[in-house]
Structure 1
């Protein structure tokens, strides 16, 4: 079976954080509560990973479908109660700057969710998304 493999190596910082190495990239994971605030916490990285997954897939689909998109932004949010260590809701909003037909843009949303590795690993049933289309003025 063909497969893609991923790996990360983390080294503890002696407190609650770590330095992570993924391929040739190094970054810090920490907290701003009882850590040294050297980087986002794991939950923030999870939200960023969901947003990154959507961004990669939206970018690929926009290119593949040859859509005229001036730009787009993704905001991902999540919340949990203080008594249970699990995100209860994850939402995202994509703001797209384009004059393309709404049906084409919503098709991008559908396909980006369908083929997103991180999106589907977390679980599509846990993530709710919306799209706002802003039509830029033609010069």
Structure 2
């Protein structure tokens, strides 16, 4: 798993460029994504998900991948898998993020064990549960 970018080991960067209104174009590796606010917000054009939705998408997608990785590593057959991340707003932040996992297999205790393993390997949920330092600087 490559965790290097720009010659800095163990770092990952993405860039966001203002694109007018309340829209940003985010470059992540070879991919671009538009992040925007809905048209109901003055300046929003609804051309992409909101930043908070991108955060929740990071949680849901990373946990999904962690489940698949963990199941594969343990030789567990993973059936249909859906992961939903829901944020509860508390002012200008989420006070809680709930991750719901639905799988056709494994079930019950085996699913619970697999979820615990996935919790250990999911970079996004591990990062959020450890309150990382956020440093904002002008360069």
TM-score (norm 1): 0.79
Name the residue aligned to 1:48.
57
Name the residue aligned to 1:16.
22
**What's the CA shift for 1:31?**
0.6
> Residues of 2 paired with 1:97 and 1:71: CA distance?
5
1:62 equivalenced with 2:71 (yes/no) = yes
User: Structure 1: where are the runs of 5+ without partners?
Assistant: 126-139
Name the residue aligned to 2:129.
123
Flag the structure with higher strand content: 1
SS of match in other structure, 1:69: coil
Paired residues, number? 121
> Residues of 2 paired with 1:124 and 1:115: CA distance?
14
> Residues of 1 paired with 2:107 and 2:48: CA distance?
39
> Residues of 2 paired with 1:20 and 1:101: CA distance?
38
SS of match in other structure, 1:88: strand
**What's the CA shift for 1:47?**
0.4
2:68 and 2:78 in contact (8 A); partners too:
no
Asked which structure has the greater RCO (Cα within 8 Å, sep 6+), the reply is 1
> Residues of 2 paired with 1:26 and 1:124: CA distance?
28
Alpha-carbon spacing, 1:21–1:77, altered in 2? closer, same or farther (3 Å) = same
TM-score (norm 2): 0.79
> Residues of 2 paired with 1:30 and 1:43: CA distance?
10
